[in-house]
Every structure is written in structure tokens, then in C-alpha cells.
Structure 1
Amino acid sequence: MNALIYLRVSTKEQASKGDSTEGYSIPAQREACLKHCADNGWNVTGEFIDAGESARSSDRPNLKAMLVRVAEGDIEALVVHKIDRLARNIEDHVAIRAGLRKAGVALISVTENIEESASGKLVEGINALMAEFYSANLAAEVRKGMTQKAKHGEWPAKAPIGYLNIREPGAGKRGAARIVLDPERALLVREAFRIYATGDYSLAELHGALHAKGLTSPTARKPGAPPPVSALATMLQNPFYLGTVEWDGVQYEGKHKPLISRNVFERCLEVLAAHNKAGVRTRRHDHYLKGVLHCEQCGNRLSLTLAKGKYLYFYCLGQKNSLRHKTNCTQPYVMACDAETGVEDLYKKIQLPEEWVERLTGELEEEIVERQASAGELRVSLTKRLAALAEERQKLLRAYYANAIPLELLKRDQDRISEAEEKAKSELAATEADLEKWQEVITIAIGLAGSCHAAYLKANPKVRRRFNQAVLKAVYVEDGKVKRAEYTDVFAALFSRPSSNKWIKVLLTGHYSNLPDLRFRGGNS
């Protein structure tokens, strides 16, 4: 009698190991099936193996191939170690069994007695249901164990980028699982949070900057590839980097080492929200007022165009063909310089009190200390990287001198090492330059903190965009001039009363409640 053997395990580890909690390995199943066929004098004509495939789904490549082979008509028996090797839900079991019966193929289980009688079919059905119950119960138990692990502050899955899963000698055969900082990526991930928190980078720009610094994805199919933009967006919102484990919507205090401060994390969330709300995209003609200016006549946003190759104008999107018949907007084009002047005038009304200047001075000084510490760590990491590359170059040469590698491989690897060394040296030089400039930068920042208008005038376009996102919800333009403005919640109270030379006291709540109350001179916008 011609027979086929079908073997399956759920994990890659079982494909090579022996007995496990899940069942038997591929070698153990094969040995039992071959012995059963030999004892019965059957001719084994083929073997189909699904290694690392779950029986909860019938979408398995070699299961499908086996059913195609069965349909060819010269097979009389299919031998498995147990029924649950074929399927672990009753629907798939019935479908597979129907295919075997249609081809006239008997299902043989080495460890279970399967008969074609009524009682045999009953026993087979019970075994199939038991397999489904086992699978569902196992999944529930695994989920319960992962939840319990999270409650103890341990991440129950693969560590996010910047961290590594390791096992140390301890309880159990596999040792104690821990999550530690990735020496190759942790500092670059911290740098990613720091520079994105400035608000000067879009996600695409952050992606490019990190790629230039050498950040690679540990899960990329192509070695050395950077993490995609979507992964960076997820990373910037993941509280794991604060030392928090979030599982099933619940947060627990983690046992792993935090990589960033809560202040930096919250700033990143604010920047993400601001970018999404402002609707600002990097396009051919970019401007720090895009997403802020609106038409007073129809309420639509103003977009930007370049006339005659050199004149920037804002125009109302309500005048586009698809909207014009709905809005009847006749708003004229606005020169970008006129819009800039109008917004600059808005900042004349805002002046920070001395308490805020003192607070900002303290925070800026803390920032300089944090940056210096981070730069010092990065400098140490880069120095170690250069030393490791030098050692790798020496090992490569020794292998070539010993005739262990060909000349072509030596040249290719030397080029790779040279490129990595050049990148590390450039980063090291940039870090040293930054350290020298920080003290000058903080002195200027403190000097400007007392006057928002002066700071706005001296700021570059990226910083002006940050000013606008923090202060302005929308600026409405009519006949080429700024007509009125809507302010964010903190600043809205400034212009809610008639003009006055008296100070207006603004009570801060929520995110700003830990700061001193603001005082502004009253005035209509």
C-alpha cells in the first residue's frame, strides 16, 4: 500500500529539538511514522513537512501540496503522528477529511485508533474537538501569562528598537528573560526623540537624519536598512521608552531602564499633534505660515504659489474650480511678505513676565546639561565604534594573510569599514562642534525670552512655525491684510476684552498648571 507522511510543528525551535510542551519534534514524528509504515509493510512514497506552521489555519504550503498529491489517485493512506498535526479546529479537520475520503485515502494516526465505523468516526470527531479545545485553551493561557508578565513590569514581546531581549542564567532551562539597552541603537533612538521634540523636523526629515547617523532596523529584511517612517511615528508615541509597560491599554511601571525623560516624550507627542492639526506638508513651495492662514470671506485655508518664478503669493483654496461654485470666494492673492508682516504685528501684544523668563532660564540651563550629557555618551559610543572598526580591519587583514579569504572579499569589506569609519568620524566632529556652540545658543535664547516679538523676528522659519503652532489656531486674511486671529487655549484670554494698558492675568490649567500665571497687556486683535 502506498502511503504519504505528513509532519508539522508550530515553532521553528520544535523543528530541530526533541519532546516539548507542544508535542514532538519533526525528527521524532518522522521516526514514529516510518516505524508504523514499516511494521505494516507500507510503501512510503512521499513526505510533507510544515515546520513552524500553526494548525489553527489550513493555509499551510505543504498541507496544500500534500492534498494535491493525494488527489492524483495512487495514494491509499496518509500517516500522521496525531490527528492534531492536520488541524486544530473542527472546520478545517472536516474539510481535510472530506478531501481524503473523496480520494479514497485512509487517515492513519500512529498514536490514535481511527476506524471508519460509526463509533470510530465519533472517536475521531471527539479527538478533533479536543485538539481545537487544546489550541484555544493554550492561546488563552499564553495571553494570560503575557498579561501577568506585564503586570510585573516585564515586556512580554519583542523589545522595541533601542532595546534587546536577553536571557541570563536563572530560573528554568532557558534562564531569566530581561530587556536591556541596545548598545548599537539606544543613543541614536534617544537622539531621535531629542531632535524631534524641537519641532524643527517632520517625520520624513527625521527619517533622513537618523539614516545619515547610522540608525538601522533590527527587523528589516535587508540588513542595514533604516526603520521606516511609520515605525518612527510608532516609536515616538511608545511609553516604553519612559520606563512604562503598556499592555491591553493598561500601563505598568517597567523594570527596564528608561531611555528618555517624560518632558521630552510629551514634547514629541505635542509636535506630532501639532503637525497633524496644522495640516502642514513638505511640498515644493514651503512657508512657515502654511496651515495657519485662512480666508476671512469663505473660511478655507490659504495655499502658496510662486508667480513668475520669484514672487510668493498666498491664495484661497476656496477659489479652486471644485470649490468656487460653492463658496463664490473672490479673495485676492496676498503677497507672502504682507502676510508675514501682519503676523509679526500680532506678536507685539505678547510679552512674557519676569517669572516666566526666570523659569525659562532654568529650563534652558537644564537642557544644556542634558544635551552635554547626551553628547558625552554619544562621543564615547562613537569612539568605541571606531575602535571596533579598527579591530575588524586588523582581523580582516590577518584572515587575508592566512589565505582564509580572497582578495575580492578583502577589498569589499575594507570599503565597507572605511565608509562606516568616515560616518562615525563625521558624527564625532559634529558632536564636538555642537558642544562648543551650546553655551552661545543658550545665552541668546535667555536674552530673547523676555520679548516674544523680538524672538519671533530673529527666529528662523522653522522656529517661527513652532511659535505659530503654539500661539495661533488660525489667522484670517481679507483684502491682503490680517483681519483677525484665533488663539490657542492658553493665549485666547489675551484678546477677549477691549484695549487696555493694564495687565491681563491668565490662569493656566491642565498641561500649563505648573507654571506661573501669565500677564499680558489687553487689546483687540
Structure 2
Amino acid sequence: METEKTGIIYCRVSSKDQVEGTSLGSQERFCKEYAERNGIRILKIYIELGESAKTANRTEFNKALAFCSDKKNNVTFFVVYKLDRFARNQEDHVMVRALLKKAGTDLRSVTETIDESPVGKAMEGMISVFAELDNNMRTERTKQGMLERLKQGFWNWQAPLGYYRPYKGSNIVPDPQKSGFIRLGFEEYSKGTYTYEKIALFLSDRGLRTKQNKNPSTALMQKILTNPIYYGYIDVWGGHKGAFEPIISENLFRKCQPDYMKSAHAAPRSANNPLFPLRKLVICDECGASLTGSTSRNRHGSKYPYYHHQHAGCKKTRSIPKESFEQQFVEYLDSISPGIKYEKLFKAIVLDEWQNGYKKIDNENAQIRRDITSLEAERQKVFDFHRAGKYTDDDLFEQKKLIEDRISQKHALIQDKRYEEFEMNEVLEYCFSYVRTSAKSWIEADYATKLSFQKLIFADSIKYDGEKFGTPDLRLLYTINQHSRADKSSLVAPRGIGPLLPG
């Protein structure tokens, strides 16, 4: 006896505008239709309202995972409309996928062909990587838009205490009820007789309240008195002059910053330094330590960025100039990039697998259309019975509605594959627009896109012996070029799939 297939549906939109639109309803409907086509009994439906896949605090998503992890629920499939609804980050995708697998639950996408076959798994990995790449590109575009507004003097975030935004999309203006308290706080603190704690009490006693209607804390006063926005300067992304009315003068602000000039130019250290995109990706083949990056100065004060690792005792420890190391990496990318014939081979196999799914869809559609024809004949009989006096008007209305509801349900089950075919070709072309010119794509990419692109190419770290890169663990797209040189059949399709190209 065949085991019953069960599942849960998870739908998500990432903005309030989408929540108010039809996106969630469409996702849920398509997921239900997918479940019905595939004989999956839905146990629960989880709807996430306006939370991004980048956010860890996805309430409904976490509930869905907990439900699947409880083995007594016996959930066979976790159904989503599209993989980017599931995760925007490949690490998260792999981790959550493993959690579901441990619970005996497989991931299924309505709009993407993924399953447990080798090509299905490869497709899932590729789509999850591109979801992350797409997200990074969206983030970069958003950042660029915000940067343009910053250059025009707009404050893009929540108005700080003492300012407010008169209407959505406007710049900030001084709050007539609170800006006076802020000015008084700077004036008193500049005298040198108050601590942050005492100035907070001083303003609280005179009536200053936060936006939550609470007394200002010591930490809040420190944040206010060290924030240059109050003299009209936006200290974000390089610093920009604000196009809004300042509450205090720059001179008053500086009187409250005894070490301001000294600290303003100190560059913060960051684990993600855009100057060194290859750090952590490349490791020493001798000791296994990850390469990092640093900047040194010569006696003339000029800066020199370089890659290195600091594993004590490693005989291959040395510093490599950033420019020459990254040029070597670019040449290495050129050497592993798939050629055009391997691109065609890969596309052929993936599209062949895609088409196999459509054959099943065609058969299902043909059966549904036969069912519709039968129901239409049944509806005609109802009219015939009514004309013959065998059915009353109420009988006619009731039977006609029942049959037409069934016909509508059948029509909803007919799958239009043209959109999906277009989408797959688009995915593949988008993918290979990067892959076929890997070196150029990497050079032109911003920092976040470089990191995502590196994940698309390499499944693990790359070893470096001080002179050249070792043989890495490459993603499927890049293994084509490597193995096909030795054996044309090295990219083997799953059972039932054959390349569409001759010879």
C-alpha cells in the first residue's frame, strides 16, 4: 500500500505593500494546486506577513520548521511557491534543508523543478545561490538609491530625537516640542560641569521625554551629544552635508567633543573588509590557515594592501601584494570558466530534465480536459432534464452550480507551462552571463556580489601554495569544463535523461 504523502505550505511576502496586494493569495493558491496535482494532503498552511528571508525572526517559518521537526506529524513535503521564499542565503538554505531532511521532509517548489535526483539537487543548489546573488544585487541597488538621497542631504532613516518627518518621503525637520531640549542639552554639557548621567537627569526634570514617552537614559544622552546630525552633518557612508535645518551650530557640537577630531578619522576594523574579497576563501596548503588582508605604510606614508596569514611556524608564511594576488586569481578564473560547448551541454541536460516534467504535465492536462468534456456533457443533460420537466428550477440551479464548480476546479488544475519554460531559460541565461566571462564578472562586481559569485564557483576553500592555486572543489557548472576534457560523458544525467546534443 502506497504511503500517504503529506505536506505543509509556507508563503511569504517581504513588504507591507505586497501583503496588501494579491501576492500572498496567489502563492497560497498555486501551492494548493501543486499539492492537489501531486496527491499531497496539506496538514497546515503558514503565512508570513511582510518579513524578509534575510531576517532570522521569521515567526511563521520557525513554526513551520518546528512542526516538520516533530516526527509524529509525519510531514513528507515542505511546499513553497519559489525557493527565494525559503531562504535568501545559501548557508541558511543548506542548514534548514538538512534540518528538514533529518525530519524526513523534502523541499518542493511550485515554480522550480527540484527533487532528490542529481540534477534536481544541482538545480536546487544553483537556484539558492542565485537567490542570494539576486538579494545582494537588490541590496546594492537599494544602497545606491539611499546613497544618492544622502548626497542630496536627505536623512533616510528614522528621525532622531529632536527631529520629525512631516510626511512620508520628506526630509527631517526640527521638532518644535523637543528640539529646544536638545539645544539646551548641548549648551549645558559644553560648559564641562555635567556628565552624561547628570545631563539626562537635568533634561528629564525639565520635561524631555523619548518617543516612547520615557525619561532619557544616560546611554541615549551620550548618543545624542556625539551625533553630528544635530549640526546638520550626516556621518554615514563617507559623510554628507544635510539639507535640513540644524538644531545647533557646528562650533557648539565640537565644544562637546574633546577628542572628536582625533577619533573622526580612525577607520573601524571590520571582519568583512571590501578591500580584500578573497580573505577566508583562500587557505594555505601547508598549514590550512585562511588568508587575511592588511594595509601597511612605507616611510613616506603610502599605503600598501596585501594578503597574508599569521600561522606561527608555517614555512610558507609570506605577504602577497593585493594587486598581484588578485590578478593571479582572475587568471585562474579564466582557466576554469566553461567553454561554449560545455555551456550548451549543461543547458541541454537541464532543459531535457525540465521537459521530462512537462511530459507528465501534458498527460495530466489531457486527462483533465477529458474530465471537463465529460462534465460539460453532464451539464447539458441537466438542461435536457429541465426542459423535459424532470428537474424543477431549483433542481436546475443546484445541479448546474455543482457541475460548474467542478468544471472551474478542473480548469484551475490545468498547468500553463509556457511561463515556466521561459523562466528556466531566463535562469540559465542569467547564470551563464556571469559564468561565460567569470574573470570579467568578478572584476566588475561590487564586494557583496563578489562574495556571492565566489560561492557560485567554489564549494569550499581554495588552497594556495605560495605560487599557484590548487585544485578546488568546484560547483557543477564549473566541473563541466574540468572533467569533460578527459571524458565527454563525465557530466552524466540521471536515469532517463540524455543530452539533446549529437555525439
Bigger proportion of residues as strand = 1
Q: TM-score if structure 1 supplies the norm length?
A: 0.45
- From the CA coordinates, give the structure whose radius of gyration is larger: 1
